[in-house]
Chains A and B, each alone.
Chain A
Amino acid sequence: MNDALYTRRRMVNNAMFALTAVCAAVASGTLLAILGYIAWQGASSLSWDFLTNLPKPLGEEGGGIANSIVGSAKVVGLAGLMAAPVGVLGGVYLAEYGRGRYAFAVRYAADVMNGVPSIVVGLFGYALIVQPMKRFSALSGSVALAIIMVPIVLRNTEEFLRLVPGTIREAALALGVPRWKVTLFVILPTAGRGILTGALLALARVAGETAPLIFTAFGNRFWDNGWLNPIATLPHTIFTYAISPYQDWHNQAWAAALILMIFVLLVNVTARVWLRPSSGTSH
């Protein structure tokens, strides 16, 4: 045995191991740093009043972001209602029936859509809904967010359906069950948890989008009214407050960012705990 060579190999091994560990620490440390900094900056302005009050008129201290919280829930909720059915059904098509050129085109389009800058989607929403209706609205914001969600949900649904073993499909078909019932009552429930998780993660992702809302939801310092009026949303309010010249607004932007981060984290953790393999679904 060549001892010198062995020692050298062991040293290289240790060095590379340390390097990968440091890189892993940098990657996860970034998250902790962001969380910590936002919590540190935002916690001081956080209070019950902040969560339950409307913004105060300019020049007055205080006020809250209640309208932004409700607005975000409305806009993101409606976006989810629009995007989830389209994404899930499209994913079913791709996974169960999609062959040939059309399916290839759909898949390719979805992947390209995933990479389209969200400000472009915002402009699209503006041209599609705001201009013809001649008003900024919650609806247009939801449509913009839904456009971002659809390709994510679609591809995720397809992936999880493909994870269902072909033997399950065969077992159901061999019982003399029509294809559509196999898909709906056997395959979809088997992949259900993964599909739901993907939809939740997509929801969490668009909840933090600002750019698509600038030209659509527009923002509002008061309670919004229905779906066809400008509406305040958390990311947009953070944006507006952060670029303002007022220290009080800066503090509120930090606090609002903290709220948004907590919400996104909660959804993420919920979704991942949900996906955790229990009996059966995963292998």
Chain B
Amino acid sequence: MDMMRPMPLPRMKEESEPQDAGAPIAMSVRDLRAGYGGAPVLNGVNLEIREKTVTAIIGPSGCGKSTLIRCLNRMHESIPGATCDGEILLGGRSALELDPVLLRREVGMVFQRPNPFPTMSISQNVAAGLVLNGVRDRALIAETVEKSLRRAALWDEVKDKLDAPGVGLSGGQQQRLCIARALAVEPRVLLLDEPCSALDPIATGRIEELLLQIKDQLTVVIVTHNMQQAARVSEYTVFMLMGEMVEYGLTRKMFTQPADKRTEDYITGRFG
């Protein structure tokens, strides 16, 4: 079925060239081990995520991609029985020692399925992070709502119905609403866990475009099943297999000259 659709070629424009290896590091992960109720999922992952870039995490189902990014904002530990140790640094501070509530304001997350709050309108959804954390200044809220919706490329579609329920939007619009909601609290890092897996190709294209735009202002980490997507949006790619990081490097390099045989096999579709 996949072959029926025209496959966009990987976009490798000059402006999306990776920054040099000396670019500042937004988050670094050292010897991260995580699991659920004694069953290990991650067996010592090391990773340095560069600031204001898009990093894609690819790999077959069950390889630990989602667990890895859920460790980065400590959503992982909200699951009963989940364990996580090792070191995660966010701008020099240890993420595992921060208050998870404060960490999550700096490391936002967008999930696989669009999940707008069902009782809230479009603007309330976007403002939720601010309002629930005690912001009362209406002008500031209205301004943030507009700014966030613009950054999520949704403003033009919803500006006349900000008070309509968020769940009334289409799937792709809902996902962009969720991105706007995450952006509204001004995170430094935005994690996306297969954000397009429930969306059609057109909605997927919109989200990819907006990711390329917002990466000027923040660091993006995206888990994806879709290798073309990784090639289109990311500068760096992480390839994971069975709880281990097999390869990490410039996307362009990984998709043309993978260093590891397993990466090559996965990318060329020999498994997974």
Interface residues in chain A, defined as those with a beta carbon under 8 Å from any beta carbon in chain B: 99, 165, 167-168, 170-179, 181-182, 185-186, 189-190, 192, 279-281
Measured in the bound complex, the distance between the Cα atoms of B105 and A110 in whole Å is 39
Which A residue's beta carbon lies closest to that of B105? A176
Whether B129 lies near A281 (C-beta < 8 A) is: no
Q: A171 near B108 (CB under 8 angstroms)?
A: no
Q: What number of A-B contacts does a CB cutoff of 8 Å give?
A: 82
Contact between B132 and A168 (Cβ–Cβ < 8 Å)? no
In the complex, residue of chain B having the shortest beta-carbon distance to the beta carbon of A185? B132
Chief secondary structure at chain A's binding surface: helix
Contact B182 A176 (CB under 8 A): no
Q: Which of A171, A173, A178, A279 contacts B165 (CB 8 A)?
A: A279
In the complex where A170-B75, A175-B104, A176-B104 touch, is A190 in contact with B113 (Cβ < 8 A)? Answer: no
- Whether A176 and B78, one on each chain, are in contact in the complex, defined by CB atoms closer than 8 angstroms, is no
Binding site for A on B (CB under 8 A): 73, 75, 78, 80, 101-106, 108-109, 111, 113, 115-119, 128-129, 132-133, 165, 167-168, 178, 181-182, 185
Q: With the chains together, A281 CA to B120 CA distance in Å?
A: 10
| Bound CA span A281–B117, Å | 9
Docked complex Cα distance between A178 and B182 (Å) = 15
- Structural contact, A171 and B132, CB atoms closer than 8 A: no
> Is B118 a contact of A167 with CB atoms below 8 Å?
no
Q: Are B165 and A174 in contact (CB under 8 A)?
A: no
**Known contacts A171-B178, A281-B118; is A177 also within 8 Å of B133 by CB?**
yes
A175 with B111, Cβ < 8 A, contacts A186-B117, A280-B118, A281-B118 known: no
Residues of B within 8 A of A99 (CB): 80
B132 contacts across to A, CB distance below 8 A: 172, 175, 177, 181-182, 185-186
**Given A174-B75, A175-B104, A177-B101, A279-B115 contact (CB < 8 Å):** no
CB distance from A18 to the nearest CB of B (A): 42
The residue in chain B whose Cβ has the minimal distance to the Cβ of A186 is B117
Chain A residue contacts of B117, Cβ below 8 A:
168, 171-172, 186, 190
Q: What residues on B are CB-neighbors of A189 within 8 Å?
A: 119
